[in-house]
Amino acid sequence: MEPTSHQDRSGTQEPPRAAPPVPPGPTLDRDVPAASVLTLRHEWHGTDVVVVSAEGEIDMLTAPSLREELSTHQAAGARTVVVDLGGVGFLASSGLAVLATAHTELTASGAQLRLVVTNRAVFRPLALTGLTTALALYPDLSAALAGAPTLPTG
């Protein structure tokens, strides 16, 4: 921005004012990590049940990793895929789309998707989009493995 000069009430010209200094601190361009973090682990229970545990954020940057993980287990013959979302602190629309698509694909092949939902950060987006009525939600891993759906209260 170019400095401009000003006149006071007497008509005297004031020197140009410089722009105020920018305070030090983080900027979105330089100091914030460019990628979200999502850690996925899996554990097979028998030959046809797999538990995928997620920790971190599921957003547009990390959702493809979750999609790939779920597709891999479906292709490997999992009849029940349990996704433990207890360690997820943020669930964006891209993550919701991955879960809805996985549910559709697994159901079409005769398999099941079960979600462990223990916190508001995950339950709220599911509820706001109506996915709580379409997906099987469980309050903990043991309930998901047993297969009796119970909606968490969020």
For the residues 81-98, what does the mean pLDDT come to? 97
CA separation for the pair 42, 33 (Å, rounded): 26
CA separation for the pair 14, 29 (Å, rounded): 36
CA atoms within 13 A on the CB side of 153: 0
Place of tokens 């309050």: 139
Burial (CB count within 10 angstroms: exposed 0-12, middle 13-18, buried 19+), residue 129:
middle
Q: Are 56 and 62 in contact (CB under 8 A)?
A: yes
Burial (CB count within 10 angstroms: exposed 0-12, middle 13-18, buried 19+), residue 27:
exposed
Decide the pairing of beta strands 80-91 and 112-116. parallel
What pLDDT sits at residue 5? 52
Question: What pLDDT, in 10s, does the model give residues 41-87?
Answer: 999 999 999 999 999 999 999 999 999 999 999 999 999 999 999 99
For the residues 99-115, what does the mean pLDDT come to? 97
CA separation for the pair 7, 9 (Å, rounded): 7
Domains and CATH numbers, the chain: 42-146 (3.30.750.24)
Average pLDDT score over the chain: 85
What pLDDT sits at residue 31? 46
Give the pTM. Answer: 0.76
What pLDDT sits at residue 28? 42
Tokens standing for 146? 């047993």
